[in-house]
Amino acid sequence: MSQRLLFVCLGNICRSPTAENIMNHLLAQANLQEQISCDSAGTGDYHLGEPPDRRMTKAAKQQGITLRGRARQLQALDLKNFDLILAMDQENYRDILSLDPAGQYAHKVRLICEFCSRHADIEVPDPYFGGAEGFDYVIDLLLDACEGLLNSLQLKS
């Protein structure tokens, strides 16, 4: 039975699709694509159907990672359907939990930076309104978080 991971940010064009594709990249390297599947979503509906941000795509490509996917909005059903839901920041975390007023799925929701080993950040900053260095930093931060997440999942299995 495979584990299903969902990465969540605000618009689903920068941080969450990057985390999804980094994780898929790491899973392919570890030959674990059959055991763990990934998706991403946004809490907002600003960019529905759009591909990942071109600046993020460029920054990821420099690290050998291809960004794929189309933006979609988080649905309440996602909380039931995924095993682990990873929020990029506190606001995303609260928005995810607001879809679950009874708290039935709260145990599945975590901040992705909890899995970092090289960075002390507690949130993944949104690079959308900044320059190229912000996108590069988010790639580095998410690589750290996804490596830690993969280690955590492998220890549990």
Task: Tell me the catalytic residues.
Answer: 9, 15, 126
Residues 6+ apart with CB under 8 A from 120: none
Helix (H), strand (E) at residue 141: helix 132-156
Handedness of CA 21, 26, 29, 31 (dihedral sign): negative
